[in-house]
Structure 1
């Protein structure tokens, strides 16, 4: 009798254990909350790296204007330069049933998680300005940042008459724009032994950090003749640092924002490599329409750049 009871107990425990495993297996296959709403072909999600930067505000406005014109509902969210918030934003938009996601990544490596989240839900992704280094992206819309960096390098080289000390303010570490603008710039200046990059430091595309980093550079290197900032916000920070220190240098930014153009016109900044963020936002929506209507979409869409300098009167 004791043997029989023991066998029954073992059988019951085995049955219960199998039930637990079956339960775990079924929950693993449950769809994520992002599929809880059916996707709406008129609802588009846009995830912006930060709206604390005029460039990305203009990018957003370009997308909003074109979405309104074409009859789409555009849901815009701000990642506040935080990759974890970016992923959370993508998950929220998927849950709200968007049909396409336009992503302006904070960091190109970290963006892979956001893109793959959308891939898992079969929602197409378009990246703008910065690439994702992973996942399936249908279309990438951006300026040729390598070419823009080369434009800045050539301009500085010409202004310095092929000789001088240069400082470089880098953008956010890991962003494709940082890598590509830096690559283009160094393609030009590194081949000339009479041009020397005496300091190259990140300032995260931020004006205040651009100011602080430039102040430190000027203290360490008293003879800087030119500064290349990988965006206008850092360039404007560098302008302020130069003004405070009483020193002068060529300052070239990148983006072509209104504040930078005003600074160039006022003679405070020397030049900026001008992008067209409004056009980039508009083109993103146009390519959304192509995706949703089954039209052919280019894998890479380039947006023209131009060098903005003070016009002689």
Structure 2
């Protein structure tokens, strides 16, 4: 595999530092999928704040885009060499697993944040299947009595988070769905179109345009995240259909919550990246000081945010979502 790293020599020096690290100072690495997505920006902020609070040295790196496992592999190797004893990773794909195993063989604790992967010592994340269920239930209740024609705007094939949100939505809507452990995407007669977006606004718009060409009668749109939802809305508005289609999503970023308030998105499942990162850093410090690794899955919470409540589905309003959101307000 060709390895592409976002860490140039200069950036590596800036990130890892040239000063000697104190012998008793915990060294923790954080590797995110990208450095620009507000979700990962907030995650980094949370890690930095907790590391400062607990007296740990934090290293950071990221891929150029979601799916850039080459950069993540290089970052793992760089961080192990630089002395990290815990690495926190939002995985872009299973290609990182051999590098993770090599790090673990050297005594490094590896914790998955947000995106699960086989072999991680622990997972601190949103229950993405539940996040999907919540928006599925909302979409079902909000469109009660109408025949469903659903567009599924997904992440990319084989990613566990994408599959969990997709299948959770299907289950919440009352359609036949795979369970939370499956990476295969469910489909039924109601899901008239499915397309990958990479969680990207521009690709979300293109995907929605293509779906409308396939079936102009689409009245519900599931989106993997809020950038994809914004893209879908742009396509619908361009086609003059924005008032006839309900969009639901997952993330809970400030821009996404604002779009709920504007009517762009009907409801979104809000997750909490700062909490994931802070808990990961704390676990890294505990491992450095006491030798006990974190284990199992820790649910970091999810809340449905909707401008208009519907009967039978618990949700919070936009004001609450704004108070808990991440990214620029």
Q: 1:275 aligns with which of 267, 271, 274?
A: 271
CA separation in 2, counterparts of 1:195 and 1:266? 31
Task: Give the structure-2-normalised TM-score.
Answer: 0.78
CA separation in 2, counterparts of 1:165 and 1:200? 11
Q: CA deviation at 1:207?
A: 1.4
CA separation in 1, counterparts of 2:191 and 2:238? 22
Structure with the higher helix share, 1 or 2? 1
Q: CA deviation at 1:186?
A: 1.9
2:28 maps to what in 1?
44
Q: CA deviation at 1:188?
A: 3.1
2:288 maps to what in 1?
292
Deviations along 1:31-70, whole A, 9 cap, x unmatched? xxxxxx9987422111111123111111111111111111
Query: 1:204-223 maps to which residues of 2 (within 5 A)?
Result: 204-223=198-217
Query: 1:54-203 maps to which residues of 2 (within 5 A)?
Result: 54-80=38-64, 81=66, 82-107=68-93, 109-133=94-118, 135=119, 137-162=120-145, 163-189=147-173, 190-191=175-176, 196-203=190-197
Structure 1 SS opposite 2:190: strand
1:234 maps to what in 2?
228
Task: Give the structure-1-normalised TM-score.
Answer: 0.82
Structure 2 SS opposite 1:280: helix
Structure 2: 5+ residue stretches without partners: 1-19, 178-186, 308-316, 320-329
2:15 maps to what in 1?
none
> If you compute each CA radius of gyration, which structure gives the higher value, 1 or 2?
1
Q: 2:305 aligns with which of 301, 305, 308?
A: 308
Number of residue-to-residue matches in the alignment: 274
Aligned-residue CA RMSD (Å): 2.3
Name the CA shift for 1:40/1:233 in 2 (closer, same or farther; >3 Å): farther
